[in-house]
Amino acid sequence: MAGRSTSQHKIRLLLLIPFLLWLFAFLLLPAIMMVISSFQNEGGQGFTLGQYVKGLTHPLYTTAIKNSVILSLVSALVGITVAVIGAYSFTTFSAKMRDRMLNISNIMTNFAGVPLAFGFMILFGINGMLTLLFKKLGLSFLVFDLYSWTGLAWVYIYFQIPVAILLIYPSLYAIKQEWKESAALLGANTWQFWQRIGVPVLLPAIAGTFSVLFANAMGAYATAYALVTQNFNLLPIQIGGMVAGDVFPRVELGSALAIILFLILAIALFINEKMLRLARKGQ
Amino acid sequence: MSFVHIRNVSKSFQDNKVLNQVSLSIEKGEFVTLLGPSGCGKSTLLRSVAGLNDIDEGSISVGGMDITHLPPKKRNVGMVFQSYALFPNMNVYDNIAFGLKMDGLSKLDIRSIVDDMISLIDLKGKEDRYPNQLSGGQQQRVALARSLVKKPTVLLLDEPLSALDAKIRRSLRNEIRLIQQRLKMTTIFVTHDQEEALTISDRIFVMNQGEIEQVGSPNDIYTAPASEYVARFIGNYNVWSRQQLQGLPVRGVPEQGDVFAVRPEAIRMETGYGDEIEGGIVADGKVTMVSILGNILRFEVDVSGLPVTVDMLSGQSIEHLGSGTPVRLVIPRDEWKSIRKSS
Ligand SMILES: Nc1ncnc2c1ncn2[C@@H]1O[C@H](COP(=O)(O)OP(=O)(O)O)[C@@H](O)[C@H]1O
Ligand SMILES: [Mg+2]
């Protein structure tokens, strides 16, 4: 028995090898190389902290970092708010309607990157269909500049919402009907229920989803690239430019910026975790 | 004048008529039970009293006040669910204090009320525990306390014991009854378990498909079921139709009645065929099975194809009556109940 189970164990480990190799080749190895490269001089020799210093002090890059963080925070915040309300309304639908809405969210989740950017351009670009239509109808207050910060924020929010819905939706089923009924019988109104029971119960899921959304936006490259190559300064665009560099590839600075991006995500996750723990203690 | 009045209440979900002209009254301080099989409308009736579902027709009043159209939070009724429904993000203390907080009581008042309640339900020292750190029985005690601190006019208990295992169920049942009597709390208890209903209630309302089939004290219901439905639902009553008895070796069946009910413990079983007793009903059959239920022996007897259940106290020198033994069953005339036929 023991012999057989160890050999089974070995076979299972064997099956894991392709995955581990893949992980090493495409995740671990590049990451290690990136870390090394981020401490090198331009051209790839020596040891220096200069790339980090440049990344954290040069206005071009600090603006990129600031823009990326703000855009990610805003899109994650709006996205999660809309998603919680939307997903909650799904739970009150009939099973058929609910499944339909989830399918739509699922499809929307896959509609991202360059195709999404083109979609927005066709509708809301300078000569976009809706832009022209709104102008014709005299509804120019509905027109916005897709290539500005606001325009980019709309696109980001658009792709955050379905992701957030899919992530938050299952946890809404944890809210039991009997809790609402008990709370009502004990004298609480709807607002008090959500404030004292609903949201606290959902908090871990909301916080977790928020982290994912933040990372999702921080790392979004294709959408931003297609929309705002030159006129809006974002961290992934800077990194992309340096690594894929058309004229002057600066892999070392790009690596340092990528590590900075990674550290921002790690810090965000850490703060998130801390706040969650505090919130739980406070209850 | 009764304390709780439910008058001609009807309720349908789409085409499904769940309550049909239900009327009942409950005295102040009384403990009544709605008893019936799953799906007969017990919860719907209870939820109608709580205001958790609206009703199509009829009215409900408590303490002389018509509450038919009040929202749940204005009714001041307490309710306990089968699933406990404690707030998972709050500890025992905060769960119990919740209703008082909603009423805007001061922290000091809340503390003294909650502390008293925690001793009453015997959870001292567990104030800081969260629901998932408590056993089912403890959770249900907290749920009970959470409702009781608000001094509700009526306490509604929807199968509060059904999720618990047998031992806890019995002890919590007694505890609920004791607390109810101490607080003189008017209580409506819902269960599908006849034993539970018979042991805990002042009065029982037996429900059948959205209607009240019979009302009475546990003793009334147990010894004098009014219908075939109640007799079949309560305990292990033998229920036979006149048709079934035709052509069987059963003598002395009275002329009146179509359906009959006989309690298993009211039947006498004899092996030596003695004199037939005056006015009794006599049937001859064979033991097919014997099972031990505590201090009771339960015999399944076959009377030419008709199954009869007979309960006897053990120790009456009947232990030797194994499977296959021919026996004579004697049923005293007044234990042979003629009852209403149910569809
Ligand atoms: N919210 C509802 N929507 C539709 N049907 C319901 C609803 N609540 C209960 N019912 C139906 O009403 C009937 C009685 O239910 P209920 O009152 O819960 O019975 P019980 O508590 O006696 O088991 C059942 O057939 C049930 O399916
Ligand atoms: Mg029920």
pLDDT in tens, B237-279: 999 999 999 888 888 888 888 999 999 999 988 887 666 566 6
A27 plus A149 within the same structural domain? no
Ligand 1 nearest atom to the CA of residue B36, by list position: 22
CB of B100 closer than 8 Å to CB of B109 = yes
pLDDT in tens, A143-185: 888 888 888 899 899 999 999 999 998 888 888 999 999 999 9
Rounded Cα distance between A261 and A259, Å, is: 5
A31 plus A55 within the same structural domain? no
* CA-based R_g, chain B, Å: 24
Upper half-sphere CA count for residue B158 (Cβ side, 13 Å): 25
Instruction: Identify the domain containing residue A68 by its residue range.
Output: 51-282
> Facing residues of B205 across strands?
B34, B215
Residue A225 lies in a domain: yes
What pTM value is reported for the model?
Answer: 0.80
* Chain A contact present for B189, CB below 8 A: no
Q: Which of B212, B186, B185 is nearest to B7 (CA)?
A: B212
* Chain B contact present for A200, CB below 8 A: yes
A216 plus A144 within the same structural domain? yes
A197 and B87 within 8 Å at the Cβ level: the answer is yes
* Pocket flag, ligand 1, residue B48 (CB < 6 Å): no
Residue A46 lies in a domain: no
* Pocket flag, ligand 1, residue B43 (CB < 6 Å): yes
Residue A199 lies in a domain: yes
CA–CA distance from B97 to each of A76, B87, B140 (Å)?
Answer: 36, 11, 15
Residue A70 lies in a domain: yes
A118 plus A180 within the same structural domain? yes
A82 plus A8 within the same structural domain? no
**Eight-class DSSP state of A82:** H
Domain count, chain A: 2
A34 plus A105 within the same structural domain? no
Ligand nearest to the CA of B14: 1
A1 plus A98 within the same structural domain? no
* Chain B contact present for A197, CB below 8 A: yes
A18 plus A67 within the same structural domain? no
B79 and A181 within 8 Å at the Cβ level: the answer is yes
Structure tokens at B153: 């006019």
pLDDT at A248 over 80: no
**Per-residue confidence at B132, pLDDT binned at 50, 70, 90?**
very high
Rounded Cα distance between B285 and B291, Å, is: 17
A32 plus A94 within the same structural domain? no
Residue A45 lies in a domain: no
* Pocket flag, ligand 1, residue B71 (CB < 6 Å): no
A34 plus A59 within the same structural domain? no
A34 plus A56 within the same structural domain? no
Structure tokens at B31: 């403990």
Choose the residue to mutate in B10, B34, B44, B207 for probing ligand 1, maximizing ligand atoms within 8 Å of C-beta.
B44
Residue A88 lies in a domain: yes
pLDDT in tens, B302-332: 999 999 999 988 876 666 778 888 999 999 9
- Residue A105's CATH number: 1.10.3720.10
B73 and A189 within 8 Å at the Cβ level: the answer is yes
Residue A64 lies in a domain: yes
A31 plus A60 within the same structural domain? no
What ipTM goes with this model? Answer: 0.86
Residue A44 lies in a domain: no
Find where tokens 């092996």 sit: B271
CB of A198 closer than 8 Å to CB of A123 = no
pLDDT in tens, B139-185: 999 999 999 999 999 999 999 999 999 999 999 999 999 999 999 99
B77 closest CB neighbour out of A178, A185, A197: A185
